[in-house]
Each structure stands twice: as structure tokens, then as C-alpha cells.
Amino acid sequence: MAYREKRKMVAMLLAGGQGSRLGVLTNKVAKPAVPFGGKYRIIDFPLSNCVNSGIDTIGVLTQYQPLELNAYIGSGQPWDLDRQNGGVFILPPYVKGKSGEWYKGTANAIYQNINFIDLYDPDYVLIISGDHIYKMNYQYMLNEHIKREADCTIAVLQVPWEEASRFGVMNVDHELRITEFEEKPENPRSNMASMGVYIFNWDKLKEYLVRDENDTESQNDFGKNLIPSMLLNGENMYAYEYKGYWKDVGTIESLWEANMDLLEHNAPIELDDPPWRIYSRSANMPPQYIGKDAILINASISDGCNINGTIENSILFPGVKVEAGASIKNSILFSGVVVKENAVVDHSILAEDAVVNFRACIGQTKRNEVNDGSPKITVVAQNTVIEAGAVVFAGESVEGNVSREVKA
């Protein structure tokens, strides 16, 4: 049909993960919808990468708390994905005939959408996830994939050895052909970690998806089942080495660190990059206003903010209000946060619309506590109200109303 032309490559973005390690930040939203970098959400990165790489047909697989994500993606217009042909499609699990079930694993999620992919009759399928911050041209990876006549190409990057056991790691020969693949091994024999970015020949992938589905022992996961099984059968599998900035933001600490990376003098990832813009759905707000009492030291501030306090090494999302005498340090304030007079916020993440009242203190280090060097990040959940004078200690995570007073 005319509105479903053949595509060379279709992207499938796995966005169903809960991201439970992000704690209260994913109370109401799926991990890909978690805010990042002053005006973005994590999913803006893979989506913008796709669009900037010339991929215009993208299925977004959702499952956990999809409302926010659905509303955010909408017609796909902010990413130029409201197309006559292709565009972005939200793909939740659905009922088929008498059956119908949740996505059991990453491979099963794609399996359940074989019909969607077939609509576009692609030669290749790109599998990506909505969990990482990076800028990558998938077209280069596809070129390599085609050149090597591979069945599957996995994007890899070298990680520090001590972290390798958190990833799917692989051994490759001198031509980058994958010889071994282990998902989260206890004793990694390589530090080439999978970025969770795969390109498959669609025919081959389909064959393995069906086979994997019929295997009752399988956990239906790409890293645990499908890729090892392809390797076992001697398919042509190559690694594609990526050398740029890539950050998994699956934990509070890594989310905080990745945000702080943006504030560095020579930021390892530059977002002010017109040829490779990161697109996002923006709130319509007036420009920011910096008042007479504001002190700004290495800060990133967005539209709609009204700043009268001290902001140091911090990232403020749209519509944040900081009153005079308040001090924000090393923190990330999501949209609509209000920090009242003389409140103190340090090493914290304040989720949407949190209110920190007069003289409250967020992220205070306990007395007698020995600091081991790595800062503890305090998290305040969405819509939380911190009463005047209340204290939230470093490393805590709070929601609801907080009115604890600490005796001096």
C-alpha cells in the first residue's frame, strides 16, 4: 500500500523497562521517559540518533507505565517523525486471537511485533534501547554490516575491566568477528561490552525469533538466548566498535554523573551540536529570568526558570523557581521544582514539581559520617513537599510530605 513503502532498515526501540534501580524517579514513568540534561528525556537520544542517521520508521515497544511516554512521543513531530510514510509507532503488547500476553523478554517483544516489521518489508532491523546517553550514527554501523555480509552486528565499546561483568561481553578475532559472547559474566574474559545496539538481517532474525519462541527453556532475551544461539550455529556475527561517549543511566548515581558530565569544561558529550541535534518535546514557556540576587557558577538553566538564588554546578529543567538566599549545588532539578528562600540543596535530584520550603535542607551530610569520596545522591520524588526547616540526609530517597525537623 502507498503509505507503507518498503524500508531498508526499521528501528525497534525497547522502551518497556521499568528501571527499578532509579527508585522513586520511575514511580510513574518508564525509564526512557526519565528527564536528562536540562530539557531532554533519555529516549530523545536514541530517537534523535535514528532521525539523524536517516532512519524514519521506528517502533517503540512499551509496557511499564507507558502513559507519560505515549504522551511525550505523541505524533512524533518534535523528532520529525510524523511522516506520511513510516514515522514513529508506539507498540504495546496486545491480544492476538485467543491468546495475548505481556512482553516476556526483549526477544519476545520483537517476536510479538513481527507483523509490524513485515509491513515495511525491511532488509535490516536495528534494535536499540531507551536506556543510554550517546550520539551515534547507525548508518555507519549498517555500512559495516553490509560490507562484511554479516547476519548480525553488535555495537561494542571498551569498558573498564572492573565494570565488564555488568554487560554482555564478547571476544572477537582480528577482523572483529565475534567468537564468544557472555551475558553479564562473573569473570569476564574481555572488556568489549555490548551497547545493546544490534543490526540483524531481518530474514535471519525472524528465523531465530521463531525458534527462540518455540524453545520453552528460553528466557526470550537477546543477550541471554538469541545471540548465543546464533553464535552456536556459526552465523556471521561481527562487532562494531564505537569510540564516543556512552553512558548507561540505569542507576541514580550514573544518572547524576552523566548529567554532571555535561557541566564539565570540555564536556565529553556536547549537546550544542547543530549537525547532530538532540530533539525533544519542549514545554512552551517564556525565556528564563535571572533576578538581581542570583549567583550563577557553572550552571545549565532552561526556559521558564526564575532564578534569584545561588546555582552552582547544577542543571535546572524548564520552569524551576529558586528564591533569594536559596543555594543549589551539584544538583539536578526537574521541571517545575520550587526552592523557597534560604533552602539548601546539595548532591540531589529533585523530581518534577517538588517543593522545598523555607530553610529546608536536602542532601545534608550526617554529623560524624565519614565521607569515602563518592558522594551520596539524595532523591526527592515527584510532587513531594518538603516542609519548612525539614532535613533530608544525603543518600536518602523521599516521597510524599516530609516534615522531619532535626534538633540542633
Partner 1 sequence: MNALGIIFSYSQRENLRELTKRRTLASLPVAGKYRVIDFPLSNFVNHGIYDVSVLARNNYHSLTDHLGAGKEWDLVRKRGGLRILTPFARHDTEKPGIYRGSIEALAYNMHSIRRSMSEYVVITGSSYLYDIDFTHLMQTHIENNSDVTTVYTRKKPVSGEIPQGAAVMDMDDTQRLLNIGLATEEDGAKNAAWAMDVFVIRKSLLESLVADAMSYGRFDFNEDIIKRLISNLCFRGYEYNGYLLEVNSVTGYMQTSMNLLDPGVRAKVFQNPVYTKNKDSVPTRYAEGCYVSNSIISDGCRIEGTVENSVLSRGVRIGKNAIVKNSVIMQNTEVMRDVVLDHVILDKDVIVREYRSLSGHATYPVIVEKGSIV
Residue 54 burial (CB count, 10 A): 12
**Residue 50, interface with partner 1 (CB under 8 A)?**
no
The count of residues in the chain is 408
Alpha helix locations (H) across 93-159?
A: 106-111, 114-119, 138-147
Q: Number of residues interacting with partner 1: please give it, by CB under 8 A.
A: 32
Q: How far is CA 38 from CA 57, 187, 332, in A?
A: 27, 38, 8
Nearest residue (CB) to partner 1, 161 versus 289: 289
Q: What is the rounded (10 degree) CA torsion for 365, 370, 373, 375?
A: -20
Q: Which of 112, 129, 153, 300 binds partner 1 (CB under 8 A)?
A: 300
The DSSP letter of residue 186 is: S
Shortest spacing between CB 90 and partner 1, in angstroms? 21
Shortest spacing between CB 262 and partner 1, in angstroms? 9
Nearest residue (CB) to partner 1, 312 versus 387: 312
Measure the CA–CA gap between 139 and 141, rounded to whole angstroms. Answer: 5
Measure the CA–CA gap between 390 and 358, rounded to whole angstroms. Answer: 9
**Residue 297, interface with partner 1 (CB under 8 A)?**
yes
Nearest partner of 249 among 26, 12, 3, 2, judged by Cα: 26
Q: Which stretch binds partner 1 (CB under 8 A): 101-109, 251-259, 272-280, 337-345?
A: 272-280
Set of cell numbers at residue 335: 521541571
Which string of x and - marks every residue 71-90 that binds partner 1 (by CB under 8 A)? ------xx------------
Measure the CA–CA gap between 4 and 2, rounded to whole angstroms. Answer: 5
Q: Which stretch binds partner 1 (CB under 8 A): 28-36, 89-97, 229-237, 296-304?
A: 296-304
Q: Which of 55, 278, 361, 394 binds partner 1 (CB under 8 A)?
A: 278
Measure the CA–CA gap between 249 and 21, rounded to whole angstroms. Answer: 10
Q: Which of 11, 128, 169, 271 binds partner 1 (CB under 8 A)?
A: 271
Shortest spacing between CB 375 and partner 1, in angstroms? 20
Q: Which of residues 307-346 bind partner 1 (CB under 8 A)?
A: 311, 315-316
Shortest spacing between CB 363 and partner 1, in angstroms? 21
Residues in contact with partner 1 by CB under 8 A are 37-39, 77-78, 271-272, 277-280, 282, 284, 286-292, 294, 296-303, 311, 315-316
